[in-house]
Amino acid sequence: MAAVLVTLSENDWERDAMTTEVEPEPIWRQRWDTCDNCGTSTVVVNEEGLKDPEEWDSFPGCMVCGGSLTMGNADEITTDEEWRLRLAELQKKLAPPDDDIKRIDIKEFRELGFLQEVNRMFLHPLGLALEVTVEEDGSEHLGGVWDYREDPEGMIFGDAMLDPEKQLNVDRERARHIPARLKMFDAIVQPAPSMKP
């Protein structure tokens, strides 16, 4: 990379008295190409910083669907921090759009008995268990799924671990949806599609 001349001054009256050559920091440039078919953005990075962006190497097509790419504008990135910020911007652009899906708070999911009953009625007989993790700050989130399918009896709760009030709460919630589901499916549980030819 070409060096640049930098003038160093010992004082205002001796300006230009000393010169030295210093190597500039690497200049990275990026260009965002967009798929004409699915809209996925592909970043093309060039380390030289001086080359015409139109001459940069490009991907032959979209890495998602193989569609053709439309060349975007190029801009400079001069620091690692700026590079991380640009990547964060890309992730935000590519994130799925906000939806109207309502989600229950995981703590509420546990406290109202849904976790207990999902495990007791469905997962435990299969030897599986869904877990909720409680963090030090009190926040809760779904963890992994325990796997004891090799045990003949599956999984069971200890007597002291089952809360009859939680069971009753879930039974009430289930009963509230039964009429509409019977009308829709003629059953409470949605039937799976028939596998018969």
* pLDDT tens readout for residues 65-107: 777 878 776 666 555 666 667 666 766 665 666 667 788 999 9
Domain ranges of the chain: 4-94, 106-185
The 10 Å Cβ neighbour count of residue 28 is 19
Residue carrying the six token digits 């060349």 = 71
Nearest CA-CA partner of 26 in 2, 44, 43: 2
Element (H, E) at 176: helix 164-185
Would you state the pLDDT for residue 68? 80
Segments of 108-180 assigned E as strands: 128-134, 140-147
* pTM of the model as a whole: 0.50
What would the pLDDT profile of 102-125 be if each residue is shown by its tens digit?
889 999 999 999 999 999 999 999
CA 190 distance to own-chain centroid: 30
**C-alpha distances in angstroms, 3 versus 22, 24, 73, 160?**
6, 7, 27, 75
**C-alpha distances in angstroms, 10 versus 4, 15, 18, 20, 89?**
20, 7, 8, 13, 43
